[in-house]
């Protein structure tokens, strides 16, 4: 695949994108094809990972062994290293401890010292520092429900929204560098009903067994939620990169499991985009969008011509 022209902002600087995720593997299961597309276009993409995933369950039966469990923190870091290489990104750890996913009725208390228990002002600080050092044009994270109600995902949302503003405030965390204001904030919108229904229909049309039938049976349409989708990024050519990055997280992703029950070509044809909700923009832009950098990036032809003149 040919390298696309380097994409720049109005001042001629290369575009910069920051994804904020709760655990290693989230960067590969949410928006990874979009990431790979932007990397191919010359965008600098950084993933800030809030926790080490130390309390994550082993979801691949082939990896469910005592030696893996005993070294899960180190193994998940190595998995993240491999996924980082595949996606072509930079990655930083914010240094918090996985909260785990509490189960039961009533729910048990969260472990002391875990990410979801850290005071918000303290948890925001390392992300403010990352934003001020990277100076991203665009930041993405999860919605107020965390995408799903994992305490670390919800906390990830909270610190990202807070840091989006705090990083620009010279009075906030003055010891953490020069202020920087990102221009746009998005929520990941990967697992929504319209997409799942389209994949389900495409499988059935081909006479294939859909892994989504049971889920859809109990999933009522929610027009208000569907209306939150503002931005569809065409990235089907990079779905294979996404899948490779997912497989790098071998403790979390079973190659024989539901992640890969739908053939790649069906994914490409039935739903060729990854989707986002624009929630903050400091630049003019019209929705629906097809680019996270809409309103920021110089059109590719202008950017290419400018570099030739130089």
- Indicate the DSSP class of residue 233: E
Q: Is 26 annotated as a binding residue?
A: yes
* C-alpha–C-alpha distance, residues 235 and 232, integer Å: 9
Q: Is 19 annotated as a binding residue?
A: no
Rounded alpha-carbon distances, angstroms, from residue 217 to 147, 199, 212, 220, 221: 20, 14, 9, 8, 11
Burial of residue 222 (number of CB atoms within 10 Å: 0-12, 13-18, 19+): exposed
Of 308, 310, 306, 303, nearest to 42 by C-alpha is: 303
* C-alpha–C-alpha distance, residues 304 and 199, integer Å: 37
Q: Is 225 annotated as a binding residue?
A: no
- φ/ψ of 284, rounded to 5, equals -65, 135
Q: Is the dihedral of CA 39, 48, 93, 27 positive or negative?
A: negative
Q: Cβ(38)–Cβ(11) under 8 Å?
A: no
Beta bridge partners of 21: 49
Task: Name every residue whose Cβ is closer than 8 Å to that of residue 6 and which is 6 or more positions away in sequence.
Answer: 14, 41, 42, 303, 307
Positions at the binding site: 23, 26, 153
Binding site listing for Zn(2+): 23, 26, 153
């Amino acid at each position: 695949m040919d390298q696309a022209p380097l994409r720049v902002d109005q001042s001629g600087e290369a575009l910069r994108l920051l994804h904020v995720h709760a655990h290693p593997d989230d960067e590969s299961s949410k928006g990874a094809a979009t990431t790979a597309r932007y990397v191919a276009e010359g965008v600098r993409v950084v993933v800030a990972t809030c926790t080490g995933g130390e309390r994550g369950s082993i979801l691949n039966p082939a990896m469910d062994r005592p030696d893996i469990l005993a070294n899960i923190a180190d193994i998940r870091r190595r998995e993240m290293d491999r996924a980082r290489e595949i996606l072509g990104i930079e990655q930083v750890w914010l240094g918090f401890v996985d909260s785990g996913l509490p189960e039961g009725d009533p729910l048990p208390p969260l472990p002391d010292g875990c990410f979801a228990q850290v005071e918000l002002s303290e948890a925001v600080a390392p992300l403010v520092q990352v934003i001020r050092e990277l100076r991203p044009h665009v930041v993405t994270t999860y919605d107020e429900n965390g995408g799903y109600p994992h305490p670390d995902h919800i906390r990830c949302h909270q610190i990202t929204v807070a840091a989006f503003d705090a990083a620009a405030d010279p009075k906030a965390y003055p010891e953490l560098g020069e202020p920087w204001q990102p221009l746009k904030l998005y929520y990941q919108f990967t697992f929504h009903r319209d997409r799942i229904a389209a994949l389900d229909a495409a499988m059935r049309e081909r006479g294939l067994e859909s892994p989504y039938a049971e889920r859809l049976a109990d999933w009522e349409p929610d027009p208000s939620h569907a209306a939150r989708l503002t931005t569809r990024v065409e990235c089907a050519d990079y779905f294979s990169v996404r899948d490779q990055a997912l497989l790098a997280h071998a403790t979390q992703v079973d190659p024989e499991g539901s992640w890969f029950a739908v053939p790649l070509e069906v994914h490409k044809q039935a739903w060729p985009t990854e989707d986002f909700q624009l929630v903050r923009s400091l630049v003019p832009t019209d929705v629906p969008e097809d680019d996270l950098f809409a309103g920021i990036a110089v059109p590719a032809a202008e950017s290419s011509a400018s570099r030739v003149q130089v």
